[in-house]
């Protein structure tokens, strides 16, 4: 069954939850489901409760990731960079590697920027990766690439919000890169029985879904929670008066695994 037929026959209806500074979600449902009015409300209630909890400083151990269909026909992003891949290019040496310092081992090694050590493994859904996060990263790169090329030397006041959003994105991704389980349990909803193909088609088209028994893929829930946390933390960063560059007179700046201060490294010699 193709996606168009799926949406018109087996799954009909679009539930939007819209609120101030809150994510907009689209949850598909079965027309015959007597609880069809409740899925979006159940998802949003669980997300708001989760987003209100304290942020973990150290991500928990992660469960084994949920694999895609063989060959990943929808091109879903599985390895998701926590620090933007484009930003890592400024730290690449002549052999197209970056220097990675392993604190547990007390030594450095050279690795490619696409190494999985820099990535979450399908910790959030495609909607979050390809729409929300890409927009934030693209707006940030539009600001900092001219600085790295020496074509700009200051940050305009109207650019502050985009940089705030980038720091909030990096800060939250680093703390939510691991999933303790691959599904979460929702209350008072039954869900829909879908094939793996149907599920991936829906995810690629930015829909959420609930599986039988009220179970939801944890990556979809985590993506929505990340959107809320990023929005909230960006608002908190309004207290900052602005961003500026710091040039190193000696030594080099590093990119931390988990950021703790409002510093965004742009190159080994220049952070914001």
Confidence of residue 50 (pLDDT cuts 50, 70, 90): confident
Give 210-267 pLDDT, tens digit per residue: 999 889 999 999 999 999 999 999 999 999 999 999 988 999 999 999 998 999 999 9
DSSP letter (8 states) at residue 108: E
264 and 174 in contact (C-beta within 8 Å)?
Answer: no
Torsion of CA 149, 152, 155, 157, to 10 degrees: -140
User: How far is residue 272 CA from its own chain's centroid?
Assistant: 21
Whole-number Å distance between alpha carbons of 50 and 37? 22
Q: Are 99 and 93 in contact (CB under 8 A)?
A: yes
Range 152-155, long-range pairs (CB < 8 A, 24+ positions): 153/245, 154/244, 155/242, 155/243, 155/244, 155/245, 155/272
pLDDT per residue over 53-84, tens digit each?
887 776 677 788 999 999 999 999 999 999 99
Query: Confidence class of residue 35 from pLDDT cuts 50, 70 and 90?
Result: low
| Tens-place pLDDT, residues 83-130 | 999 999 999 988 999 999 998 889 999 999 999 999 999 999 999 999
Find the helix packing angle between 160-175 and 218-236, rounded to 10°.
Answer: 140
Q: Which residues neighbour 78 within 8 Å (Cβ) at sequence distance 6 or greater?
A: 65, 68, 72, 121, 122
For CA atoms 207, 212, 218, 219, give the dihedral sign. negative
pLDDT band at 9 (very low <50, low <70, confident <90, very high): very low
Average pLDDT over residues 179-205: 91
Contact in structure between 27 and 207 (CB atoms under 8 Å): yes
Q: Taking the mean position of all CA atoms in its chain, how far away is CA 101?
A: 24
- Using alpha carbons, select from 222, 248, 210, 229 the residue that is nearest to residue 170: 229
Q: Inform me whether the pLDDT recorded for 1 exceeds 60.
A: no
CB count, 10 Å around CB of 251? 8
pLDDT over 80 at 37, yes or no: no
Which pLDDT belongs to residue 223? 95
CB of 94 closer than 8 Å to CB of 182:
no
Cβ-contact 266, 147 below 8 angstroms: yes
Q: Is the pLDDT of residue 16 over 60?
A: no
């Amino acid at each position: 069954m193709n996606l168009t037929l799926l949406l018109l026959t087996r799954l009909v209806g679009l539930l939007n939850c819209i609120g101030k500074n809150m994510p907009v979600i689209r949850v598909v449902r079965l027309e015959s489901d007597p609880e069809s009015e409740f899925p979006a409300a159940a998802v949003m209630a669980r997300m708001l409760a989760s987003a209100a909890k304290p942020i973990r400083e150290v991500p928990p151990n992660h469960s084994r990731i949920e694999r895609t269909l063989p060959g990943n026909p929808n091109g879903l992003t599985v390895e998701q960079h926590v620090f933007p891949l484009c930003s890592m290019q400024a730290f690449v040496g002549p052999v197209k590697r970056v220097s990675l310092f392993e604190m547990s081992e007390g030594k450095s090694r050279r690795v490619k920027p696409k190494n999985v050590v820099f990535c979450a493994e399908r910790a959030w859904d495609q909607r979050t990766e390809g729409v929300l996060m890409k927009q934030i990263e693209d707006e940030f790169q539009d600001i900092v690439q001219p600085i790295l090329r020496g074509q700009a030397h200051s940050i305009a006041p109207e650019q502050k919000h985009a940089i705030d959003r980038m720091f909030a994105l990096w800060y939250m991704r680093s703390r939510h890169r691991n999933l303790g389980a691959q599904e979460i349990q929702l209350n008072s909803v039954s869900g829909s029985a879908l094939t793996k193909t149907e599920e991936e088609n829906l995810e690629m088209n930015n829909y959420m879904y609930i599986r039988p028994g009220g179970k939801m893929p944890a990556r979809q829930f985590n993506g929505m929670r990340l959107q809320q946390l990023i929005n909230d933390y960006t608002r908190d960063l309004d207290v900052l008066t602005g961003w500026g560059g710091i040039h190193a007179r000696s030594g080099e700046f590093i990119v931390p695994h988990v950021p703790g201060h409002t510093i965004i490294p742009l190159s080994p010699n220049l952070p914001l």
